[in-house]
Amino acid sequence: MNLLEVIKKRRSIRRFKPDPVPEIALKQILEAARLAPSGVNIQPWRFMVVKNPQLRARLAEEAAFRQQSVAEAPVVIVCCADLRSYLQAVVRAQELLAVEAVSGEFVEVYLKHRGPVSADLVTHMPAATINTVIAIEHMVLMATSLGLGTCWVQFIRPERVAEICELDEEIIVVALLPVGYPAQDPSPRPRLALQEILLPEPGTGKKEESNISMGVGVGSC
């Protein structure tokens, strides 16, 4: 499948077959996450691969409001962000000076805009989370391309997930990602038409007059 086909095929899978996920497929999924972009290359994402059925059952029962997909999937990836990595943000920004495509002016403005990197790790949570979700979606699409199903699970108790998985306090839980072979084939869910999500460029007239058209929006969920 090409990338657009993968995007169209993706579904939120909540029922899984018991078949194990091949190690090579799991490594490809994690490699896709590793290659994701992040602000000044901070790469704050951290992942725990949970295969133990008892541990998956605890996550489902105690932290995911009894969502059976978490217990049923042969693999659950606990997707986290390491807030400590943002303490290195200024150093990483300065390293951009060595990249020809990035001017010293950019780094100067970046540092001025950002200000000093706070030692209060909680202040870095929004940026760390945003970067991590990019990596998660890389995994979702790679899994789809391999014939596997996934489902973003964010209706969770993050603190309880952290306790069950014995995570350090600097590691925050962003989502759970059950992975496995689908035991269902959900139909596409409706999506807004392209015209409904486009904002008009200043000076070009109303949104309805846009010359970009792709018809009725149909997608997946």
- Judged against a pLDDT cut of 90, whether residue 133 lies above it is answered with yes
21-35, 177-191, 206-220: lowest mean pLDDT where? 206-220
- pLDDT band (50, 70, 90) for residue 125: confident
Q: Which residues pair with 73 in a beta bridge?
A: none
Domains of the chain (ranges; CATH) run 3-185 (3.40.109.10), 187-221 (no CATH)
Distance CA 134, CA 38 (A): 8
With pLDDT > 90 as the criterion, what percentage of the chain qualifies?
67
23-37, 92-106, 122-136, 177-191: lowest mean pLDDT where? 92-106
Which pLDDT belongs to residue 217? 47
Residue of 134, 112, 106, 113 whose CA lies nearest to 42 = 134
- Whether residue 53 contacts residue 155, with contact meaning beta carbons closer than 8 Å, is answered with no
Across residues 134-140, what is the average pLDDT?
Answer: 98
- pLDDT band (50, 70, 90) for residue 218: very low
- Judged against a pLDDT cut of 70, whether residue 22 lies above it is answered with yes
- Judged against a pLDDT cut of 50, whether residue 44 lies above it is answered with yes
- pLDDT band (50, 70, 90) for residue 6: very high
Q: Between residues 220 and 3, which one has the greater pLDDT?
A: 3
100-109, 159-168, 178-187, 191-200: lowest mean pLDDT where? 100-109
Which pLDDT belongs to residue 99? 60
pLDDT tens column, 67-115: 999 999 999 999 999 988 876 765 666 666 666 555 666 656 655 655 5
- Judged against a pLDDT cut of 60, whether residue 211 lies above it is answered with no
CA dihedral sign of residues 180, 64, 172, 126 = positive
pTM of the full predicted structure? Answer: 0.84
Distance CA 188, CA 10 (A): 9
Residue of 82, 73, 93, 86 whose CA lies nearest to 16 = 73
Alpha helices in 75-124 (DSSP H): 89-95, 104-114
- Whether residue 129 contacts residue 174, with contact meaning beta carbons closer than 8 Å, is answered with yes
User: Which residues are CB-contacts of 151 (< 8 A; sequence separation ≥ 6)?
Assistant: 12, 13, 14, 69, 177, 178
